[in-house]
Every structure is written in structure tokens, then in C-alpha cells.
Amino acid sequence: MNVTINTDELFPDLHPALAPQAAVVEASRCLFCYDAPCTQACPTHIDVPKFIKKIASGNLRGSANTILDANILGLSCSRVCPVDVLCEGSCVMHRYNKQPIEIGLLQRHAMDWFYSHEPAIATAPDNGKHVACIGGGPASLACAAELRRHGFAVTVFDRNPLAGGLNTYGIAQYKLRPPDSLKEVELLRNMGVEFRFGVEVTDQTEGEFDAFFLGVGLGPMHRLNVPGDDLPGVVDALTFIADYKTGTPKVGRRVVVIGAGNTAIDSAIAARKLGAEQVHIVYRRGESDMSAFASEYEHAKLEGVEFHWQTSVTRITPDAVICGTFKIPCDMVVPAIGQSPLTKLLAVCGEVNRETGQTKHPKYFAGGDFLNGGREVVDAVADGKRAALGIKKWLTTQS
């Protein structure tokens, strides 16, 4: 019997939205620093004091426009950015031993208002140039939006049935739900961006475009390369997350997640919320070596996830993970040990100018996880915007 699971109920917001009056009160705490360290700490350099001051004065559209001028994916980033190590981590309130301004929640407040009030972004008249963005993730979306602002026609190609990349398919639902990611895609569509799904660029279609942006992300997740890593109960972390985010959740009663990055933590927490009785994280290094953020680690412990440090998996059987001298009984294994780089395509691109994104082939630009090996959504947005400005400058010189 098939059972429909309401994942919205299972995955409530990690940080609930601020009520309108609470947002005004929080905004009024800001010192509106002239040389704001929070702005410098943001990879997209959102003018944080400016957008917060507009919230304090009741100008929510102006606040949203300030955010979107710098970061077209301001909605997603307000939910998924590690603000404690970026903008909020740089807040001057720390100097006075006070709670930092809740910048992430204030940004979300402005973005939620924007998307509930006929969202629209102005674009320049068409300039006759056509650019293709390969991949529909954050870097490509940011590149496409910036190009449309300057009058370029843009087509985004994506192999998936929905755009948004990891925002739609790979980020834990308690942080970012697919409908929120797709709101941003729809905003770009309203700006005039064309989307082609399940279609690859061929020699025939290549001639349609004056320039290309490669925002293809990373390749498949790394294999464990131990006996049993191909058993039916072994599901890589991105597949596991994508399945439950797209309405087909599958989880074991006892789950072992391998790895200790943010994706591993996301998978472990999701498994608990989906009903797993026991969830273990196995990591071959120590607690101090894990790449997950401290806040994510604390969240996982609160959810009842058990951690095993300095532990390597040597074999997987249908009912256990074998870790050298002991085993952990389980019926599902979720490897989360990173994605492989697209080495061959990187070699073809050659050295990339990080300021403009231009590859050794002048017509091709690149950015996002494809180049940086996998960082935050906001880093991908910054890459895409820089590349768009690089494309604009290059195509202008070619005219």
C-alpha cells in the first residue's frame, strides 16, 4: 500500500519567520554601520544596513530590491546561508557582547513580502545578443538574471525536469522547500529567461548563442569502494534527499550515514524526521576534522543522531555496516563523502579567470560548484553574477 507523507509537517522551518512587528523591532537594533563588516562578509556584498533600515522604516519593497540588486536568489540564501559564519558572524554587536542582528531572518522577512506582492524585476531593452547557461543551479540562475537586467536574451538548459539545482533537489527540506526555490525560477521566467529541460546543447544548437556560461555543478557522488557498496540498501545522500524532496521518501528503520559534512548531517536529520528509529554517522576522522558547521552538528545531536569518530567502513552487508572490529546493524546506508569533479570538462576549460569567469575558449565562461569544488549557494550566486558582467564586457568588445 502506498502512503502519502506530508513532508511539510515532518520538516517544519528550522528558523520560523519573524512576525511583522518583531521584524521592525529587530531591524531597529541595527547600528547601520557605515563600513559594515556584515556587507563585506557576504560573498554577494548585499548592502545589509540599507536593507535593514528600509525594514525599520516600513519600506519592504525597497528592502527587497536592495537585496535582489546584489543577490537574485535572496529568498533561498535567507534560508540556507551559514549566517553565523558570514554576515551575522561579522556583526559589530559581538564587540559589545550582544546578540548579533538576525540578518538572515530579516532578509527572509523582506523576501517573503516581495514574493507575496507581485514580484517583478526590471530589465533593459533586448540588445540582440543571446547567451546560453548550461545547468539550472544557483550560478546559472544568477548569471541569467544579471544578463537579462542588461538586455541579453538568455536560455537555461537543465537535464532535470525542474530548475534550481541543489536548491530544488539537494538542500534539506527543513532549510529550503522546493516551492521556495521554484519561486525564484519563476521570477527569472517573468524576466524573460527561457528554460529548456531535458535538452542538451548540440553542435546544431550551439550556433544559436553568442556566449555560454557553464554552471554544471559537480559530478556523481563518490563511491565508497568497499565490498557491498552496490547493495540495494545503499543510497547516496543526494539521491536520498532528492527523493524525499520530490515526494517519494524512502527510509530504513536503522540508518548509517557515512561522512561528516553538511550533506551528511542533512541526511541524518532527514532520516530521523522520516521515521528512522536509529541513525548513526560514521566518520573516518575525528570530531574536530568534520567539515559540517557546528550548528548543524548540534542540531543532529538534538535529533538523536549517534556519531562514531575515527571509524572506517570496511564492508557493507544487507543488514550491517562492518567497521573493522565491530559492526552497526542497519537496513539502509547513505554515503555522503562528496561529489566528484567534472575533470575532463575542467581540463577542456583550462585556466579560468576568476574575476570574469572566462575560460581559455573566449566564448565560454564558468562558475559555481563546477569551479570551486562545492561551496555555499551564495558563493555560486556571486560567481554567476561576476561571469554575467564578464560576458557583457566581452560581448560588448566583440560588437
pLDDT in tens, 216-259: 999 999 999 999 999 999 999 999 999 998 888 889 999 999 99
Percent of the chain with pLDDT over 70: 98
- What pLDDT, in 10s, does the model give residues 352-361? 999 999 999 9
Question: Is the model's pLDDT at 15 over the cut of 80?
Answer: no
Query: Do both 258 and 313 map to the same domain?
Result: yes
Question: Is the model's pLDDT at 320 over the cut of 50?
Answer: yes
- What pLDDT, in 10s, does the model give residues 116-152? 998 999 999 999 999 999 999 999 999 999 999 999 9
The pLDDT assigned to 6 comes to 59
Question: Is the model's pLDDT at 197 over the cut of 60?
Answer: yes
DSSP class of residue 233 equals T
* 285 located within any domain: yes
Question: Is the model's pLDDT at 286 over the cut of 60?
Answer: yes
Question: 48-52, 189-193, 258-262, 344-348: which has the minimum mean pLDDT?
Answer: 344-348
State whether residue 32 is helix, strand or coil: coil
What does the CA dihedral 291, 293, 297, 300 come to, rounded to 10 degrees? -110
How open is the CA angle 372-218-138, to the nearest 5 degrees?
Answer: 70
Mean pLDDT of the 293-305 span: 94
* Backbone torsions φ then ψ of 395, nearest 5 degrees: -70, -30
Write down which residue in 320, 335, 350 finishes a domain: 335
Percent of the chain with pLDDT over 90: 87
Question: Is the model's pLDDT at 369 over the cut of 90?
Answer: yes
State whether residue 155 is helix, strand or coil: strand
Query: Do both 54 and 137 map to the same domain?
Result: no
* 5 located within any domain: no
Query: Do both 166 and 73 map to the same domain?
Result: no
When divided into structural domains, the chain yields a total of 3
Mean pLDDT of the 356-383 span: 95
Distance CA 246, CA 265 (A): 19
* 224 located within any domain: no
Q: What rounded mean pLDDT belongs to the chain?
A: 94
**Cα–Cα distances in Å, from 8 out to 5, 14, 155, 167?**
9, 12, 32, 16
Mean pLDDT of the 247-273 span: 94
* 145 located within any domain: yes
Q: In sequence order, what are the beta bridge partners of 366?
A: 214
Q: Please indicate whether residue 56 or residue 200 has the higher confidence score (pLDDT).
A: 56
The pLDDT assigned to 4 comes to 43
Identify residue 59 by its one-letter amino acid code: N
Q: What is the CATH number of the domain that holds 361?
A: 3.50.50.60
The pLDDT assigned to 247 comes to 81
Query: Do both 17 and 111 map to the same domain?
Result: yes
* 155 located within any domain: yes
Residue span of the structural domain in which 158 resides: 130-219+340-398
The pLDDT assigned to 1 comes to 27
Q: What is the CATH number of the domain that holds 89?
A: 1.10.1060.10
Query: Do both 330 and 268 map to the same domain?
Result: yes
Question: Is the model's pLDDT at 30 over the cut of 50?
Answer: yes
Q: Which three cell numbers stand for residue 132?
A: 546560453
* 193 located within any domain: yes
State whether residue 16 is helix, strand or coil: coil
Write down which residue in 310, 335, 360 finishes a domain: 335
* 226 located within any domain: no
| 361 in Cβ contact with 326 (< 8 Å) | no
Query: Do both 156 and 78 map to the same domain?
Result: no
Query: Do both 215 and 346 map to the same domain?
Result: yes
Split at pLDDT 50, 70, 90, the class of 203 is confident
Query: Do both 167 and 75 map to the same domain?
Result: no
* 153 located within any domain: yes
Split at pLDDT 50, 70, 90, the class of 10 is confident
Write down which residue in 281, 313, 335 finishes a domain: 335
